[in-house]
Structure 1
Amino acid sequence: MKPQRQWLIAGATVAILALTPGSAFAWGTPGGSNGEKTVTGGGQQGTSIVSKVSYTGSTRGNTRGTKQVQPVGDWTPPACWYEPRRADDFAKYVEDMYTETVNTPGQHSYAKASVGMFRDEYKDGTYKNYNLDQKDKGNWWVSVRDEDRWMEPEAQLCDKQPFWVENGASPQVPNAVTPQVLAELAYNRIQLPTTKVTLAPAGTTKVNLPTWAWLDKARFKEVSVTASLAVPGLNIQATTTAKPVSLKLEPGTPDAETYPGSGECTINADGSIGAPYAVGKSDQTPPCGLKYLRSSGGGTFKLQATVTWQISWTGSGGTGGALPDGTFGNDQAVTVQEIQAVNR
């Protein structure tokens, strides 16, 4: 059984938040990537409220394990962030969570006590009745984790208990949703085309014979994902765009040469990479390609073709900028044979 995500409640209660399934403090993530049904507009399903961030464009969908763009360097998109919740949504979540926990047969007393203390804090403690009398004046802000990364240390950093922010004020915490945070979340959702280069000769090449490689300009073009969040007092969005800029060829063996020597083929003015082979070019050096210096024997060499994408974003209020470049690639098998000579 897969462990559930949990709210990170600061202080002494952290140690007792490992509740039984169905009673964990769990806020959902974009798209319901944990297999939950996506609730349009950020509704409630059981005791889990899904993220209100929505995505459009060339998104990679909700399938776990889908390959995605890999940032160059140490930077990664946020593994957790803070989002606003209407007071009535927040109140319903807490009340449902409390009712479910105390009514679950066999539930541990410390779990009931923990949920009870949490409920009291917002119902009859520091806050009164979940601030329902101020529901048009502000929102509760809660932490949300990326479902695919919830075990990473970075996903544990959003550990502030739900807090109230009036409309027009900025939450004073890192990773509170802003246009740039939305742009970074969209970065993690970009679906890029499969990087399978066209080779000539195709499939099987010969030792010491230049192999031409290219990518079709119609397939490798800019792709974008827009992330949006609309709640009372807050309506923001950001569009993250990936533009292909180069192709890196790694032959899969040290006994090979690349064209150019660096193996880095830059993009052409028309958006293509490399150039197709044509009759009459056999004695020319390909602008993008490789040459194997020995055969692959009875097997194949694993050619790695990786495209580098330049990432930028624009957002609400005239915001925008650059994000770290990303890479995306695939392996493809290449058979290399010896050239057979006939002696007479």
Structure 2
Amino acid sequence: MRSETGLGGVVFDPPHSGDGGSLSGRQANWSPPPCYYAPRWSASEFKEWWDSYAKDQAYKTDPDNAPAIIDAHDETYGENSQYEDHNIGREDEGAWWTVHSNPNHPDGSTASCESQIFWVDHDDTPPPHPNSPTPEMLAELAYAEVEIPDVRAELSPAADAQKVNLATWVWMDASDLAPVSVTASISGYSQLSATVTATPSRVELDPGTGDATVHDGCAVGADGGVGRPYTAADAGTAPSCGVTYHRATHDRGPYPFSATVVWEVSWEGSDGSGATLPDGAFGTTQDVTVQEIQTIVR
């Protein structure tokens, strides 16, 4: 079984190994949630946090109001409260939830989340709250955790043997462009989850210079691949997916040629819900050298 890892209180399966890339959203007005509620402590951990850290911090940061803060905590969570000493007697039945920040958000702030601490049984769902997790929110949190393969476009002629005014054929194999998925769930609450799937739709080429013509028919085909290699039968024709350079690089250094795969993203929740998320992109760049020679034997 694959291992799991995640943000605070959220796990992703499979975890992002770091070998591939992450999606870069293409919708300017969309971003993942800045913060969310999820488990932080077991009953004993919450009690330990309060007794060994938070109580002392109250006196250090707000000595005038510390007694009132401590009294309020004890009234809500202490031995004589409805939770009978931080729910110590229910250690295995649930967890204490509070706010977490999302490091994948541009701001990474919890400012929009009201800070609350509440108990949720393992077989229950979190109480309604604008920042309580739903399958849709889990899908949005998982967007940055989808691991995109580091696909490098194949070129003919090769990147170090480009020729002025000779079309370059560009392709990617279907085996490198399979859909990828990740499932996000709440630690200890497997009944709440969402699976995000990214499916490649097209490749966008950037020749790295204005002195080039882009042949932009680079949609993912029925076979799952993009473009195709050059063959002898293609002599004198332009590729559907490729680029033609019109100026050599001998006096300026190589051109940074990039091929960016655009991925369509959808999600399906544990409750049967589902929808799409903004398209994402991930690309690679390679240097190409263009020579003045007009003919070549491939």
Q: TM-score range by the shorter chain?
A: 0.7 to 0.9
Partner of 2:72: 121
Q: The residue matched to 2:12 in structure 1 has which SS?
A: strand
Partner of 2:60: 110
Partner amino acid for 2:237? Q
Aligned equivalents of 1:221, 1:116: Cα separation in 2: 59
Which TM-score applies when normalising by structure 1? 0.71
The correspondence for 1:337, drawn from 288, 291, 294, is 291
Aligned equivalents of 2:291, 2:66: Cα separation in 1: 68
Which TM-score applies when normalising by structure 2? 0.81
Partner of 1:175: 131
Q: The residue matched to 2:49 in structure 1 has which SS?
A: helix
Q: Please report how far the alpha carbon of residue 339 of structure 1 lies from its aligned counterpart in structure 2 after TM superposition.
A: 1.6
Q: The residue matched to 2:113 in structure 1 has which SS?
A: coil
Change (3 A) 1:253 1:62: closer
Aligned equivalents of 1:135, 1:218: Cα separation in 2: 47
Partner of 2:184: 227
Partner of 2:258: 304
Partner of 2:196: 240
Q: The residue matched to 1:122 in structure 2 has which SS?
A: helix
Q: CA RMSD in A?
A: 3.2
Q: Any gaps of 5 or more consecutive residues in structure 2?
A: none
Change (3 A) 1:183 1:225: same
Q: Please report how far the alpha carbon of residue 68 of structure 1 lies from its aligned counterpart in structure 2 after TM superposition.
A: 1.2
Q: The residue matched to 1:265 in structure 2 has which SS?
A: coil
* Identity across matched positions, percent: 35
CA contact (8 A) 1:122 1:130 kept: no
Aligned equivalents of 1:258, 1:62: Cα separation in 2: 32
Q: Please report how far the alpha carbon of residue 132 of structure 1 lies from its aligned counterpart in structure 2 after TM superposition.
A: 5.0
CA contact (8 A) 2:37 2:132 kept: yes
2:69 matches 1:75 = no
Q: Any gaps of 5 or more consecutive residues in structure 1?
A: 1-29, 34-50
Aligned equivalents of 1:101, 1:126: Cα separation in 2: 13
Q: The residue matched to 1:188 in structure 2 has which SS?
A: helix
Partner amino acid for 2:245? Y
Aligned equivalents of 2:208, 2:66: Cα separation in 1: 56
Partner of 1:48: none
Q: Please report how far the alpha carbon of residue 239 of structure 1 lies from its aligned counterpart in structure 2 after TM superposition.
A: 0.8
Partner of 2:115: 160
Q: Please report how far the alpha carbon of residue 162 of structure 1 lies from its aligned counterpart in structure 2 after TM superposition.
A: 1.5
2:164 matches 1:207 = yes
Higher RCO, 1 vs 2 (CA within 8 Å, ≥6 residues apart): 2
Q: The residue matched to 1:318 in structure 2 has which SS?
A: coil
Which whole-Å deviations, capped at 9, do the CAs of 1:134-171 have from their partners, x for residues lacking one?
7788754311123455x826443223222356775653
2:279 matches 1:279 = no
Which whole-Å deviations, capped at 9, do the CAs of 1:20-56 have from their partners, x for residues lacking one?
xxxxxxxxxx9477xxxxxxxxxxxxxxxxx332211
CA contact (8 A) 1:32 1:62 kept: no
Aligned equivalents of 2:197, 2:6: Cα separation in 1: 23
